[in-house]
Amino acid sequence: MSHSDEQIPAEQQTRSTSGKWWFAAIIVVVLGGGVYFYASREPAMAEKTPPSPGKGATQIAPVAVVASRNSDVGVYLTGLGNVTPLNTVSVKSRVDGQLMEIRFREGQNVSKGDLLAQLDSRPFQVQLTQAEGQIARDRELLNNARLDLQRYKQLWHQNSIPKQQLDTQEALVRQLEGTVKIDQGQVDSAKLQISYCRITAPISGRVGLRQVDPGNIVHAGDANGLVTITQLQPVAVIFPIPEDNLPKLIGKMKGGGRLKVDAYDREQKQKLASGTLLTMDNQIDPTTGTVKLKAVFPNSSNELFPNQFVNARLLLETLHDVVVVPAAAIQRGAQGTFVYLVKADSTVTVQPVTVGATQNDEIAVTAGLQAGVQVVVDGAERLRDGGKIEVKQAGVKKGPGSVKTPGSDKGSNKERKKASH
């Protein structure tokens, strides 16, 4: 190999190395230009960004307000209750026999004494006939024995018969009297069996689903029976309350007044029925720390159904003429419960309050607030003590504890504008 051939690879290697340095230099220049361009735009963008709150700019928060007022508030004890019938009876046959006919419709309301079913009574009619024949024969034997006794008494007074014969006749009369009583019992038993063939309703209420079809043989020992009757009017609701509320409840019950209980649906929005407290259980459940109460409801329109779950609300007492505000006005923080009180200069101040009972969407304020002052009910999450506000909508009560929120009158405002034009 010649010397010139050894120099060619070295020259190529030199060109390749210089090319890499030029490429790296170009990349560095491009990156430097981008950093300079971004840095030059940052002051201009900072000038266009609005100042943040607290750095020379005052933020005005739109809120809705409502005035506190005086009202009566009920103190309630609540619990998840279960509708329980006062009486439930499983109607069963008291004799064995064939079911001839059914006299009720499933789901029908029946009264006490209504005929529900009829069994075949012919076997018991035969027994009755036999018992009546037996008692008729034994009565004649008794009558004859009594006549003989009268004759023996006369003969004994005449010393014509021994005393033993008279005593034997007296014993025979008493024996036949006992036989007649036994026969009378058999007659009454047969008549009772015949009456049991007519199955009647023992209580008033609603019948359930039929358990036996006509034509089947039923027995007194059948477990299911024919049908179940449940008393629905009146009906009871059993619900628990915490044991801590027991002293107040006992004090109210000792006063002799009947405490009102309302039953609400699961969402506690719709009242189903109203009743009164009947009694309480005689012991506290140690596993839950609660005691069971029993309330009675007339249930005249069948609002409550057995085994239905309801929210029971027991009215313990009524607080008269207390300050109330909507529940939305009450705020909670590290310092406790408070409200944002609206001042005359369109600012708010934090007012600590003590809350009491809740009724519907309103809360009673027992301390820290007077009636007739404006409190914030919407937009409180953007407020701080001394902050400026703009009242977008004054709260107008539409019902217990309900207020209008900002924007709720947009439709009516548009109509008024059209009317003014």
User: pLDDT tens, 389-400?
Assistant: 888 866 544 433
254-265: per-residue pLDDT in tens?
877 789 999 999
122-178: per-residue pLDDT in tens?
999 999 999 999 999 999 999 999 999 999 999 999 988 899 999 999 999 999 999
Q: Would you say residue 415 has pLDDT above 50?
A: no
Note whether 50 and 360 are within 8 A (CB): no
Q: CA–CA distance from 81 to each of 146, 293, 396 (Å)? A: 71, 9, 35
Backbone torsion region of residue 94, taken as left when φ is above 0, otherwise alpha when ψ lies between -120 and 50, otherwise beta: alpha
Q: Report how far residue 153's alpha carbon sits from residue 139's, in angstroms, rounded to the nearest whole number.
A: 21
Note whether 84 and 238 are within 8 A (CB): yes
Q: Report how far residue 190's alpha carbon sits from residue 130's, in angstroms, rounded to the nearest whole number.
A: 9
Domain ranges of the chain: 62-75+320-405, 81-86+230-315, 91-226
More confident residue, 153 or 360: 153
Q: Would you say residue 419 has pLDDT above 50?
A: no
23-73: per-residue pLDDT in tens?
666 776 666 666 555 555 544 444 334 334 444 445 788 888 888 888 888
Q: Which CATH number fits domain 91-226: 1.20.1090.10, 2.40.50.100, 3.40.50.720, 2.60.40.650?
A: 2.40.50.100
Note whether 313 and 76 are within 8 A (CB): yes
81-86+230-315: CATH topology: Elongation Factor Tu (Ef-tu); domain 3 (2.40.30)
In this predicted structure, which of 17-21, 269-273, 345-349 has the lowest mean pLDDT? Answer: 17-21
Helical segments of 217-274, H only? 246-254
62-75+320-405: CATH topology: 2.40.420
